Amino acid sequence: MDNLLYNETELMLAKTVQDFAQDYLAPMAPILDEREEFPMENFHRLASMGLLGITIDEKYGGSGGGFKEFSIVTEEIAKACGATSAIYGSHIGLVLQSIARFGNEEQKSRFLPPLIDGTSVGAWGLTEPESGSDVASMSTTSTSGDGLYRLNGTKHFITNGDVADTFVIYATQNRELKSKGVNCLVVDRNTPGFQTIKQDGKLGMKASSTAELIFEDCPVPEENRLGEENTGFYSAMQILESSRIAIAAQSVGIGQACLEAATNYAVSRKTFNNPIASYQAIQWMLADMATEIDAARLLTRRASILKDMKEPHNKEASMAKLFASESANRAATKAVQILGGYGYFKSSHVERYFRDAKITEIYEGTSEIHRMIISRSIINQANNN
C-alpha cells in the first residue's frame, strides 16, 4: 500500500486485513477451491472483525466507512482468496447497499443487523436465464394483491444463492413496461414457494456458491418492497454502478497476487545458470503487470473517492472495473507463463488466480457493456458541449 494514496487509518486497515487474509484465508483458499465449498467459517471471521458492516451506519450495527474502505478490504481479501472476495463483495456491495440505500427505517433496522453480525448471508438476484446484460427484459413477475406480491420465475447465477437467508430480488409487475415496471423485494429463504438449487461446475471462484432461485407463487409482504413501486430497475442500476468499484478492487487483488507469485518465482528459478528474472523477456512481463495493477488501483481509488463524495461516478466506476478486470486477466496469463509448466498445476496457486480472474470480466457488467457505458458518457458529453 502506498503512503501517497492512503491516509494513516486506511494503511492500518489494509495492514490488519492483509495479516488476517494472508494468515487465515490464503492457506484455506486452495482447499476450498478443490472442494467447491462455501467458506462459512471465513464469513463468520469477517463478521467478527466488523468487516461485514463496512459502508453501513453504526446505528444498524455497521462500522461506517465508505467505498474507499470497502475497496481496500476487498483488495486484500481477493489477494488471498478470490472466492471469499466474491462472497464478501455480493454481500456488501449488492445486498447491504440495496437495503441501506433504498430501505426505510423499519426495513434497515429489521434486515441489516443480522447481515452485519454474520447470522444471515445475503444474495442479490437480478440475472435470469433469458436476461443478463439486457436486465429490463426480465420475466420474473411480481403480482400484487391482498398486501402481498406473488413471485413467479427463475433467477440464475446468483452468488451466495444456496446458502443465503436474505435475498434482494428484482421482478416485474408488467413486462411491457420494461424498465418502468420492476419492483425490488427482500425475500426470506423460508418463504413458501421459494427454492434454491446450487449450480456447480464453475471455472473459478469455486468456493463461492452460485445458485438458481426458483419462485412459484411465492408470497412476499408488501412491506418488504425496497423503494417505491416500479422503481426497482433504477435502484438496481445505481447499486451496480457503485458495486462494480468493489469488482475493480477484487481484480486489483487478484492481479497483485499474480505479480507477487511471478516475481518470487522469477528470482528463484534458474535456467542456463541464471535466475529467469535476469532475462529481459521476463522483466518486461513483470514491469507491465506492475504498471497495469498500479494504474487499476488508481482508477479504483478515484471511483471510490467520487462515490464517497456522492459525486457522479458512472463512467469512472466502469473505467475502473473494465481496466482492472482486463489487467487482472493479463497479469494471470503472464504469471502462468513465468512459472512455466509449474504454473499449469494447482500447486502453483497462479493456476487458481488464472481461473478466478476470468469472472471479473463478466459479472456486474461484461467488458462489452462497460465499453458501452464509457463511450455513451463521452459521446453524450460531446453532444452537450
Stretch that binds ligand FAD, among 29-37, 152-160, 171-179, 281-289 (CB under 6 A): 152-160
The reply on whether position 89 binds ligand FAD by CB under 6 A is: no
Nearest of 160, 322, 137, 314 to residue 233 by alpha carbon: 137
Residue of minimal Cβ distance to ligand FAD: 132
The reply on whether position 126 binds ligand FAD by CB under 6 A is: yes
Total residues contacting ligand FAD (rule CB under 6 A)? 20
Stretch that binds ligand FAD, among 156-164, 224-232, 312-320, 373-381 (CB under 6 A): 156-164
CB of 313: closest distance to ligand FAD in angstroms?
A: 20
Residue number, 299 or 369, with CB nearest to ligand FAD: 369
Q: In sequence order, which residues have a C-beta less than 8 Å from that of residue 216 and are 6 or more positions away? A: 152, 193, 194
| Catalytic status, residue 223 | no
Q: How many residues does the chain have?
A: 385
Judged by CB under 6 A, the residue of 9, 200, 368, 379 near ligand FAD is 368
CB of 245: closest distance to ligand FAD in angstroms?
A: 16
**Which CB contacts under 8 angstroms, 24+ apart, belong to 98-101?**
98/124, 98/168, 98/184, 98/226, 98/235, 98/239, 99/168, 99/186, 99/226, 100/55, 100/56, 100/57, 100/60, 101/235, 101/238, 101/239
Judged by CB under 6 A, the residue of 78, 246, 296, 359 near ligand FAD is 359
Residue 248 in grid coordinates: 475493480
Residue number, 126 or 331, with CB nearest to ligand FAD: 126
Residue number, 89 or 343, with CB nearest to ligand FAD: 89
Residue 56 in grid coordinates: 453501513
Residue number, 168 or 258, with CB nearest to ligand FAD: 168
The reply on whether position 102 binds ligand FAD by CB under 6 A is: no
The reply on whether position 133 binds ligand FAD by CB under 6 A is: yes
Judged by CB under 6 A, the residue of 43, 60, 67, 157 near ligand FAD is 157
Judged by CB under 6 A, the residue of 84, 85, 159, 196 near ligand FAD is 159
For the chain, the three-class secondary structure string (H helix, E strand, C coil) is CCCCCCCHHHHHHHHHHHHHHHHHHHHHHHHHHHHCCCCHHHHHHHHHCCHHHECCCHHHCCCECCHHHHHHHHHHHHHHCHHHHHHHHHHHHHHHHHHHHHCCHHHHHHHHHHHHCCCCCEEEECCECCECCCHHHCCCEEEEECCEEEEEEEEEEEECCCCCCEEEEEEECCHHHHHHHEEEEEEECCCCCEEEEECCCCCCCCCCCEEEEEEEEEEEEHHHECCCCCEHHHHHHHHHHHHHHHHHHHHHHHHHHHHHHHHHHHHHCEECCEEHHHCHHHHHHHHHHHHHHHHHHHHHHHHHHHHHCCCCCHHHHHHHHHHHHHHHHHHHHHHHHHCHHHHHCHHHCHHHHHHHHHHHHCCCCCHHHHHHHHHHHHHHHHHHC
Stretch that binds ligand FAD, among 10-18, 47-55, 111-119, 365-373 (CB under 6 A): 365-373
CB of 126: closest distance to ligand FAD in angstroms?
A: 3
Residue number, 231 or 278, with CB nearest to ligand FAD: 231
Judged by CB under 6 A, the residue of 71, 90, 183, 243 near ligand FAD is 90
128, 222, 364, 368: the active-site residue: 364
The reply on whether position 124 binds ligand FAD by CB under 6 A is: yes
Stretch that binds ligand FAD, among 22-30, 53-61, 127-135, 334-342 (CB under 6 A): 127-135
Stretch that binds ligand FAD, among 118-126, 220-228, 321-329, 342-350 (CB under 6 A): 118-126
Judged by CB under 6 A, the residue of 67, 102, 215, 363 near ligand FAD is 363
Residue number, 14 or 184, with CB nearest to ligand FAD: 184
Stretch that binds ligand FAD, among 186-194, 283-291, 305-313, 366-374 (CB under 6 A): 366-374
The reply on whether position 210 binds ligand FAD by CB under 6 A is: yes
Cα–Cα dist 160/122, whole Å:
7
Which residue numbers are catalytic?
364
Which residues form the interface with ligand FAD (CB under 6 A)?
90, 124-127, 132-133, 157-159, 202, 205, 210, 359, 362-364, 366, 368-369
